[in-house]
Amino acid sequence: MRLRIGPTVITLLTALQGCAHHTPSPEFTGNGLAGDPSIARLVITVYGIGDDSEGLIGGRMNLGLFNDAGNWLTADDIPFVRVVPTFGHVDTLSITIDDVPVGVWAVSLYHDLNQDNQLQRGLLGLPAEPWGMSNNAIGRMGPATFEQASFEVRSPETKIEIGLWDGLILRDRPESMK
């Protein structure tokens, strides 16, 4: 049985156990990884984290990278999971994944402020912690679909930007990105 979770509930607790540390990827070349054009580097810039240069905000960014509508926003079979501390970052955080097969992918993430591996919710089930999806996708009356959040990863490198949402309000892009 699959557990269905929406963008406001991305509780990657099961998937994140043991995934906080990952093995370094192969050497990146200008023509895919180790010369393989079927593998790419994905650079995700998350904006709206605030000023954490003093460590006052804290927490970590929990990210899931999905390649199929069937596993989208589930805790099952997440191809890539990353957990990145936000301490010391101001406004933006860059997350690089070096070993992504070219193709169609979608990202879902949240800023786990209290580091409990669960997206906290407030009234009406709206997220109490900042969250985001690729394409800054947001669904109507529920989570965005894989199609709304999907993008194409191409070799050798693909760069995307994801803004954090406070509930249903998208945070502003910092001046440095305009």
The one-letter code for the residue type at 158 is T
Domain count, the chain: 1
> Considering the domain boundaries, does residue 110 fall inside one?
yes
**Model pLDDT, residue 35:** 72
Cβ atoms 171, 54 nearer than 8 A: no
User: d(Cα 134, Cα 23) in Å, to the nearest integer?
Assistant: 24
> For residue 158, is it within any domain?
yes
- Calpha distance 178→173 (Å, rounded): 7
Task: Classify residue 2: in a domain, yes or no.
Answer: no
Domain span holding position 66: 13-169
The reply to whether 7 falls in a domain is no
Report the Cα 10 to chain-centroid distance in Å.
Answer: 10
Q: Is residue 30 part of a domain?
A: yes
**pTM to 2 decimals?**
0.80
Assess if residue 176 is contained within a domain: no
Per-residue pLDDT of the chain (178 residues; tens, 9 = 90+): 333 334 333 333 323 333 333 333 344 344 455 578 999 999 999 999 987 667 777 899 999 999 999 999 988 889 999 999 998 888 999 999 999 999 999 999 999 999 999 999 988 888 999 999 999 999 988 889 999 999 999 999 999 999 999 989 999 999 888 8
pLDDT at 5: 39
Pairing type for strands 39-51 and 157-163 reads parallel
In a domain, 6, yes or no: no
55 class by beta-carbon count within 10 Å (0-12 exposed, 13-18 middle, 19+ buried): exposed
Structural domain includes residue 8: no
